Amino acid sequence: MLRRGMSSMRNIPVRKAYNSWHAQTQQLIHMRRAFKAIVHRGKRLAMNVWLETVAHDNESLAIRKRALSSIKNKPLRQAFNGWHELASGRSETLRKMRMVISSMRNKGLRAAMNAWVEQATERSEALRKMRKASASMRNSGLAAAMNSWVEQATHQANVQRKMKDALSQIRGGKRRAAWATWLELADERRKLRHAAKGLTSPGLRRAMTTWIEMAIASKTNRDMLRRCMNSMRNVPVRKAYNTLRAMWEQLCWMRKAFASMIYAQARRGLNAWMARHLALRNATRESRKLAIFAARLLKGGKVKYGFDVWRQVCRREREDSEAKRIFRMIFRSKMLKFLYRWIRNGSNWKIDLVCSRLAQTEADLHED
């Protein structure tokens, strides 16, 4: 303490400057708080309303949870109530049994105690009656006045009690009505607060929406700029990736063209099936009914089984003959060499596709 006192006495200008700076800082803090309270008044009011709503919702949720738990755990609650009643009855039975056993053990003492209690009660009652009679005989006027006053006071108390009951019923009805009206008004006020919260701060809501949109747009722009910068920094990698992608796309086109040339018959069959399917879908309702009726007739017998077997055999033979014809066409027309030369040269895929179709047509003519 002495050291602090001496240091404060030595550094009086510094201490005065610190005190003035501290006072100005506290004043600035108070001014900032007041300014924030004025600026963010709508937010503060909305926060208060939100806190009241959350408290009310939490209380309602707790009440609903208790009610729901009592409904869900109804068998458990009934079992607990039954167990409690059984335990209470058992404890009462044990207490009575202990009393009976103790009375059987101390029968003589209990009889003497009961006789003494009865005698003491009778003696006290007799003494009370004797005192009352002697007092009434000594002070008959005072006793009569006292009795009349007691009767009057009792009657007046009964009258006042009845009047209070009547007034409480009358006042209670109005009070109940006022309470119900107040509850309705409070509920309506709470709803109006919720509805007016969005109307009192439209500028704040629009500003928040604009800020969100601007944040999303700025994030998108930053992502685009980041991608552009990465592409500008990694020019060789980007060129290599573009070349690889172009080669992969060309290879995909080549595979599609090769598959189209090999499975030409299958593609024609699929196109024919699709055309037939579309024609059947566009058929009239009567033709559909006839087709369904014919299919139902074919379902229940050996005709359908024989037809299915014959169709499977024909399909297998047709597929074998088609595969043989395709392989003969490929090897006779030297299409594999043409494809290898096409892959090596990397020529235009449209011209190569036309050439391959011409070669396929020539192979079909030679085969015929």
pTM above 0.85, yes or no: no
CA distance 166 to 158: 12
DSSP-based three-state secondary structure for 201: coil
Q: Phi/psi of residue 280, each to 5°?
A: -65, -35
For residue 306, give the H/E element and its range. helix 302-332
Q: Which single residue is written with the structure tokens 């209380």?
A: 59
Cα-to-chain-centroid distance, residue 219:
29
How does pLDDT run along the chain (368 residues), one tens digit per residue? 556 655 665 677 777 778 888 888 888 887 777 777 777 777 777 777 888 888 888 887 787 777 667 666 677 777 777 777 777 777 787 787 777 777 667 777 777 777 788 888 888 887 887 777 766 666 666 767 777 777 888 887 887 787 777 666 666 666 666 677 777 777 777 776 766 665 566 666 676 677 777 778 777 777 776 776 666 666 666 776 777 777 777 777 777 766 666 666 666 666 666 666 666 666 555 555 555 555 555 555 545 555 565 566 566 666 556 555 555 555 555 555 555 555 555 545 545 555 565 566 556 655 55
In 3D space, the residue among 334, 330, 340, 364 whose CA is nearest the CA of residue 254 turns out to be: 340
Query: pLDDT tens-digit profile of 58-100?
Result: 887 787 777 667 666 677 777 777 777 777 777 787 787 777 7
What does the pLDDT look like over 166-183, one tens digit per residue?
666 666 666 666 677 777
| Location of structure tokens 């004797």 | 130
Single-letter amino acid, residue 31: M
CB 330 within 8 A of CB 262: yes
Where does 201-284 have alpha helices with state H? 202-233, 235-262, 264-281
Separation of alpha carbons 161 and 182, rounded Å: 30
Q: Which residues have C-beta within 8 Å of that of residue 339, sequence separation ≥ 6? A: 254, 258, 356
Within a 13 Å sphere around the CA of 245, how many CA atoms are in the beta-carbon half? 6
Tokens of 280: 């059947």
273-279-285-287 Cα dihedral, nearest 10 degrees: -70
Q: What type of residue sits at position 236?
A: P
Q: Which amino acid makes up residue 343?
A: I
Q: Give the count of beta carbons closer than 10 Å to the beta carbon of residue 254.
A: 17
